[in-house]
Structure 1
Amino acid sequence: MATQTPFFTSINRLYPHVRPILPRLIMGLLSALMASVVALAIPQVLRVLINDSLKPGGSGQAVWISAGIVLLLGIAEAGLVALRRQFVINPATTVETRMRVSLYDHLQDLAVAFHDRWGSGQLLSRAMTDLNFLRRWMAFGAIMLVVTTLTVLIGVVVMFAMSWQLALIFLAAAVPIMIYGFRFRTRYSKVARRSQDQAGDLATTVEESVHGIRVLKAFGRSREALENFNEQAEELRQTEIDKAKHLATFSLMVTLLPELALGAGLVVGVLLAADGQLSIGALVAFFATAAVIAAPVEVCGMLLAMALTAKTAIDRHFEVMDAVNTITSPEEPRSPADLKGALSFRHATFAFDDAPDKPILKDITLDIRPGETMALVGITGSGKSALLQLVPRLFDVTAGSVEIDGVDVREFDVAGLRSAVAVAFEDTTLFSNSVRDNVLLGVADTVPPERREEILAEALDTAQAHFAYSLPEGLDTLIGEEGLSLSGGQRQRIALARAVAADPTVLVLDDPLSALDVNTEELVETRLREVLADTTTLVVAHRPSTVALADRVALLQDGRITAVGTHTELLAENSHYRYVIASLDPEPRDLDSELSALEAEEVSP
């Protein structure tokens, strides 16, 4: 459970975002307040009408004048309500959009370690549901809560002016409401936070199930996934019921007690009027005023619940915004321009933040020459992928350094470093966009269109991704969310083409060719050597064919580099290396390539 912060402490955090639109919000508040004042003026017209015009000998014309005044006041009230909406809706949506963009920008900037800890559904609910609620609260809830409070206060003052005895009876009902209100605020805040967190967890489950639908179907686990989802949904339902019970109890009090007070006041008022201490007009006006403020009193529970939910949404929003990015550029960064690509690890040690005493990598020292292809091999869990992620600073070393051309990568501007280092991972991630946009993701927008097309064609050729031209709309074909409309081999080739198109100085490959057959892999490697002859490449290899194509091989064992040499040298000299090579994955069959070959044979004469 997150730490509960004071209500106004949380609300005050919105001020920097609200400050630019504060004048319009104040105008909307004043419009709503004037509408309430106009509504309170109508009972006073009735009081005058009854006391002066409806007595024997009164003027009939006064009735029509009073009716006209009431009509004008009603029109004025409706106009002021419409004016309030005009003042607040547009600026509130502007604040919502800016906060959402700011959140997304911050998420892009945060380190990978942050995203490893947070479920995507939690972030999605904060970016969408919470900010949508904040916009509605700013445009309606906050303003109406203030207006409701002022309306009740003004109404009570008017009621005291007409009859202090009846006003005291009405006011007595407020005491238990205020006492219970403090308890309601504490209880509702906790259950509201639990509800929003559970909704985020549920969103995470939905997203994971949709993305992993093929796995669930293939293993026949759809029923188990449904049961798990049903448990989470039921838990959220129970929490929502708890919220409704708290709100219903509070609403019962704020509705029942004032009604009981009015009933008692009616008896006392009749007695006062019979005794001559209160005029009939004042009695009618008193209860008309009570009717006007009854509606605000009844909705104050809902408005208070909105305020508490908004407070929770603010807390959840700033939980993310307060997260500190640990991967930052120095104050005076070095420029990564004109790098030759000499990649070095100098006594590099790395451990995750939650296990600093259990380093994944230990005292790594390794030199890769410019333009050289270095294969990294080791058994599962030896730290290969972790080592690769240190180069583009997806993680930072705990001790030691990673250097390019003798310069610590932490001295470069982060964006500049990542433009010089391209990556391709085994678990490829593609975006719901065209093949063209996915491949050209790392190419600067300033590159002329003609040159972009040349880069695109060369990258696809290098990655042996010619299948892209045969898609329904060619390179403009939308490949679907995470590229799931493509096969594994096709996704890997698109991801590799994306890395090649970035024209990096250093290329980091985490076994991106695992889904390709040997022939296709060899073609890709050959083209890589031609196109990226001056590019330093560090590749994690899980297959003997990949190892054999590298210039040199580094053996990673228990988080340490234990041997470096050519494939032939290590086979002859290192028993652990021979064990690793023997345990590497067998060559897979790329059914896509086999099908393409069969089709080519059928077409050829």
Structure 2
Amino acid sequence: MNQSDHIQRLKLIAPYKKEVFFALSIMLVTAVAQLALPKLVNYYVDGLAPATLFASFHLYTLLAIIVFSLLSAVRFYLFERLGIKVVSHFRLTIHKTLLHKTASYFDAINIAELASRINADTQMLKDALTTSAAQAIRATTITIGCIIMMFTLSTTLSLVLLFCIPTFIFATKLLSKKIEPLSEREQDALAKTNKIAFDNLNGHTLIKLYSWFGSSQNRYHNTTQSYITCAKRTISAIAVFQAFFNFLIFSSLIIMLILGSHLIKQNTLTIGELASYVLYLGMAFTSLNSLASFWAEWVHTLGATRYLFQLLDNDNDVEPLAQSKRRFIGDIRFRDVSFYYPNKPEKHIFEKLNIQIKQGQTTVISGPSGNGKSTLAKLLLGYYLPTNGEIMIGNHSLNKLSIACFRKTIAYVEQEPIMFSSSIIENLIPEATNTPTPDQMNRVISACKKANAHDFIEQLPDGYFTQICDRGNQLSGGQKQRIAIARAILHEPEVVILDEYTSALDIENQQVIEQAMHNLLVNKTVIIISHKQEHIANADNLILL
């Protein structure tokens, strides 16, 4: 843990300076008001208050309590609202960063684990950075105020307490060194339980088919037990500190009562002043306990969120945005292209591959399974860059800076199209959400008619606004294929890649899809990955891998 870790997290509230200042101002007012309570007790115990129930002093006191209660509610609301804003902005930042990560990055991580960490870790940061931090500032203010007031009541008693402060600071430092690594391991363990749960639920059909219920439950049970073990260690460290702190509080309180009663006998302290002093002492120790709890939570948060901040700091796996709106067109040439997947460097997919795909023609890529047909498509889509050699589109090289520009000209229809768990209209044009403009709606309907998708979409319960649930499972394979084709038509591509796009369909669906394809492929550069003889026979060029 170093200073930059603290600064990095505190910077998250920088955009909300005015809101922070306003909330802190109210909090300081309530803290100062709370410091008046023990003095009020002193006033009443020593018999200095008016005897009449409806005296103006009592009425003003009641009014002050009402104002204090209202300000406390406002303070809570402001800090909670601030926390929601901060954590939501942080999540948006992480989400934006992840969307621009390369395919290699996603090959190396578990998405379920990542999603779990984004939600759980940022929620922990929200609580520590706003509400808990505000309480810590309030506790600091009250502690300082209590110490000042205690010295004004009795210097003798206050000097005896001074030995507690260095003891408290030492114990807090010891706690922070212990908790940070424990909390990091705890969050890692929690993320792994979510990873296993996602795998089991995502593969529920496979578990049912092979009766893997016992082994799947055991995997989840084992990771859960690992999390429980890590969580117990963190809790144990905090519990030991709490025990020590409670001992410090109550032993100091007893000592103060003993010394205070002795001072009363010597007439150097009144009963009301001792009562007031004990209340200040209790408030001070309660505030110190809050500070210790906050520090434990803060250090816990530092360890838990380190993964997310490292993710934001790492820009090695980020794809740049499009540098221009230029559309790349022309022949596609592979020049001495060699490639292996970053996570499998020992397995070379291509070695000095040289091929040419002519603009405006249909090229079929065929060959045995495992020879790199789909990998070639991934290279063209810019998901990966060649290990050696280069890919040319016309006179332009496909590299890290030009990928985003080239994607403006290319569409991809795969065997199992990706569908978002949203409405059909959002799967076709995400920017439309559920309130498309008339122009957007006309474009979508036109594309769906060309893709032979309009009729079946109109028959769905809510038409184009029907929610298609997880990965579009409620749609048939042919329906998903036609939506994918409509999506490609809307993109207005120059190059279309078709990857085994009819291999899983029956004859009737294949005919519908082929008819829809005819509307998509007019005057396009078409790359078909297929084993089917009819595709090979109708192609202008054939590349065997």
Instruction: Normalising by structure 2, report the TM-score.
Output: 0.89
State the 1:357 CA deviation: 6.2
CA offsets, 1:336-384, max 9 Å, x none?
16x3x42221112223334556543221111011222222233333222
Report how many residues are paired. Answer: 542
Per-residue deviation at 1:422?
Answer: 0.8
Shift in alpha-carbon separation, 1:223–1:542, aligned structure 2, 3 A: farther
SS of alignment partner, residue 335 of structure 1? coil
CA positional deviation for 1:121: 2.3
CA distance in 2, matches of 1:222, 1:500: 44
2:375 is matched with 386
2:30: which partner in 1? 35
Shift of 1:530: 5.5
In structure 1, the residue matched to 2:110 is 119
CA distance in 1, matches of 2:431, 2:150: 70
Q: Does the CA contact (< 8 Å) of 2:23 and 2:79 recur in 1?
A: yes
User: In structure 1, what is the equivalent of residue 342 of structure 2?
Assistant: 353
Which structure's relative contact order is higher, taking Cα pairs within 8 Å and 6+ residues apart?
Answer: 2
1:317 CA drift (Å)? 2.4
After TM superposition, the structure 1 stretch with the greater mean CA deviation from structure 2, 265-274 or 512-521, is 512-521
Alpha-carbon displacement from aligned partner over 1:490-538 (angstroms, at most 9, x marks no partner): 4344334433443321112222222023564366446534541321122
Are 2:357 and 1:365 aligned? no
Quickly say closer, same or farther: Cα 1:427–1:186, change in 2 above 3 A.
farther
For residues 530 and 452 of structure 1, what CA distance do their matches in structure 2 show?
14
Q: CA deviation at 1:474?
A: 4.4
What is the alpha-carbon distance in structure 1 between the residues aligned to residue 183 and residue 459 of structure 2?
52
Work out which of the residue numbers 285, 299, 302 in structure 1 matches 2:293.
Answer: 302
For 1:411 and 1:333, the matched residues in 2 are separated by 13
Amino acid at match of 1:450: N
Go from structure 1 to structure 2 and tell me whether the alpha carbon gap of 1:136 and 1:460 turns closer, same or farther (over 3 Å shift).
Answer: farther
For 1:565, the equivalent position in structure 2 comes to: none
How do 1:243-282 residues align onto structure 2 when only pairs under 5 Å count? Answer: 243-282=234-273
- 1:391 offset after TM fit, Å? 1.1
Per the normalisation by structure 1, the TM-score is 0.81
Partners of 1:112 and 1:394 within 8 A in 2: yes
Change (3 A) 1:31 1:327: closer
Residue in 2 that maps onto 1:17:
12
Which secondary structure does the structure 1 equivalent of 2:354 belong to?
Answer: strand
Q: Relative to 1, partners in 2 of residues 1:508 and 1:306: Cα closer, same or farther, differing over 3 Å?
A: same
Structure 2 residue aligned with 1:517: 506
Say which SS state the counterpart of residue 13 (structure 1) adopts: helix
Q: Which amino acid aligns with 1:428?
A: P
Following TM superposition, by how much is the alpha carbon of 1:325 offset from its aligned partner in structure 2, in angstroms? 5.5
Q: Which residue of 1 aligns with 2:399?
A: 410
Q: Which residue of 2 aligns with 1:162?
A: 153
Q: How much does 1:427 deviate?
A: 3.9
Task: Report the CA distance shift for 1:213/1:68 in structure 2 as closer, same or farther (over 3 A).
Answer: same
Deviation at 1:178, TM superposition (A): 2.4
Computed over aligned residues only, the root mean square deviation of the Cα atoms, in angstroms, reads 3.1
C-alpha distance in 1, partners of 2:258/2:54? Answer: 28
SS at match of 1:513: coil
Q: Are the aligned partners of 1:343 and 1:404 in contact in 2 as well (CA < 8 Å)? A: yes
Verify the 8 A CA contact 1:327 1:396 in the aligned structure 2: no
Unaligned segments of structure 2, at least 5 residues: none
Alignment match, 2:62? 71
1:35-184 matched pairs, under 5 angstroms: 35-51=30-46, 53=48, 60=51, 67-68=58-59, 70-184=61-175
Aligned residue type for 1:418: R
CA separation of 1:475 and 1:67: change in aligned 2, threshold 3 A? closer
Q: Please, which runs of 5 or more residues in structure 1 have no aligned partner? A: 557-605
How far did residue 286 of structure 1 move?
0.6
Describe the SS at the equivalent of 1:350. strand
Task: Compare 96-105 and 8-17 and name the one that shifted more.
Answer: 8-17
Percent same amino acid at aligned positions?
22
Q: Radius of gyration: which is bigger?
A: 1
CA deviation profile, 1:290-343 (whole Å, cap 9, x unmatched):
232343233334322321233235423222222326464589547116x3x422
Contact 2:135–2:290 under 8 Å retained in 1? no
The answer to whether 1:451 aligns with 2:443 is yes
Q: Counterpart amino acid of 1:219?
A: Y
CA offset digits 1:441-474 (Å, max 9, x no partner): 699989653233111110236xxx9655554444
- Cα offset, 1:204, TM superposition: 2.4
1:192-341 matches, cutoff 5 A: 192-324=183-315, 326=317, 328-329=319-320, 333=324, 335-336=326-327, 339=329, 341=330
Report the counterpart of residue 479 of structure 1 in structure 2.
468
